[in-house]
Chain A
């Protein structure tokens, strides 16, 4: 079966891949583009482990037909750190024990990043709402919510 060429910007880098017909963006990112940060959990929208940003808003890569990403700007958790410097969200997750097994973490980070970009000073409830599509089997969510609030404060401090 003929593959379809698709081009997009992945974490700032021009990227071209060949997708199988019907392949999801998740398949293409992991298998063709070699970005293993979005995780494959349920493949049906239920877990959020595959959350990426497409043109600035969160999408579930497992439910995104790869072809629809043609020309898009895609950001994944792999693009959060600037070289050795971790993003404040990553630091807060590590320091606050918000990652245990880590499987949900890349999706949580992207959901949190999208929230903080549109709302730099969220309430606890707004954070809970922002990660409501992301399941975590380990932490009980509280450390994740705390870490996001800590990172939000850190980012506001930098902006000030």
Chain B
């Protein structure tokens, strides 16, 4: 199969060049695997050298990350300390120098750890054209969309309210058995909790029943029990080389408990 590569100086021009059987190139860590192994169904790669794609800047109560921002950039940025452990959990050092925020939105299970964190933070997705979308709606239509993601807007969590854990078979790096991100505002009693799981479905998913069960709960074993009981509702883990769907279901409440109670893993 022969492929053509088109490079555009601006995101706008690149977005106009997108059509069927075209892949947009982020860092290439997933796309180039496809190219190397003769993936079918596309014959064009579109990319842009637009510097805005790699920018990070504050906006309102949040931070806007260009879709081309690398995991290593997130780790190094003083305003993004809450996301640094998440970015550090993606692949090894060379992968983190390449892997982009935008590409992570499209990664299939067991990948998508960064996106899982963004989901718990109520991030929104800005395409090159059109209105901003809540990340959850973006993910539900992800595999049908054709455009280019320009950036994501990440609301800044309140101090100490954001938590992330990634469960792997190997250390220091490995693909997710699952990852869990939680945003637990409210100090004493939890209000408006967000709990998101990665590698527990085709895309990262919110555990909405658990979120509801945490409303008004205290951050102790009794307070969170109901959330643990219902946390699997709406999740759809798959068998893969890392773990079976059965195993993922069995251990999800255990890992959620450890995360919510801040227990040693």
CB pair A128 B94 closer than 8 Å: no
- Tell me what chain A mostly uses at the interface: helix, strand, loop, or mixed: mixed
| Size range of the chain A interface in the assembly | 20 to 34
Residues of B near A62 (CB, < 8 A) are: 32, 36
Q: Mark A60-80, 1 if CB is under 8 A from B, else 0.
A: 101111011000000000000
Known: A1-B2, A21-B4. A133 touches B33 (CB 8 A): no
B interface secondary structure, majority = mixed
Cβ A22 vs Cβ B93 within 8 A: no
Mask for A120-134, Cβ within 8 A of B = 1, else 0?
000001001110111
Q: Which of B32, B37, B47, B97 contacts A58 (CB 8 A)?
A: B97
Interface: A17 (CB within 8 A)? no
Is the C-beta of A11 less than 8 angstroms from some C-beta in chain B? no
- Whether A37 is near chain B, meaning CB under 8 Å from some CB there, is no
Instruction: Indicate which residue in A22, A43, A48, A63 contacts B29 across the interface (CB closer than 8 Å).
Output: A63
B147 contacts chain A at the CB level, 8 A cutoff: no
- CB contact under 8 A between A67 and B32, given known A57-B72, A58-B97, A60-B98: no
**Residues of chain B within 8 A of A132, CB atoms compared:** 92-93, 172-173
Indicate if the CB atoms of B28 and A65 lie closer than 8 Å: yes
CB–CB B95/A43 < 8 A: no
- Knowing A63-B28, A67-B7, A128-B172, the reply to whether A48 touches B45 (Cβ < 8 A) is no
- The tally of residues in B whose CB lies under 8 Å from a CB in A reads 26
Q: Please name 14 pairs of A and B residues whose Cβ atoms are closer than 8 Å in the assembled complex, sorted by A.
A: A22-B2, A43-B33, A43-B36, A43-B37, A58-B97, A59-B97, A60-B29, A60-B94, A62-B32, A68-B25, A68-B47, A114-B93, A132-B92, A133-B173
Q: For the A-B complex with A44-B33, A45-B95, A65-B5 known, give 15 more contacts whose Cβ atoms are closer than 8 Å.
A: A4-B5, A21-B2, A21-B5, A43-B33, A48-B92, A57-B97, A60-B29, A63-B27, A63-B36, A67-B7, A67-B47, A111-B94, A125-B172, A132-B92, A133-B91
- Chain A interface residues toward B at CB < 8 A: 1, 4, 21-22, 24, 43-45, 48, 51, 57-60, 62-65, 67-68, 111, 114, 125, 128-130, 132-134
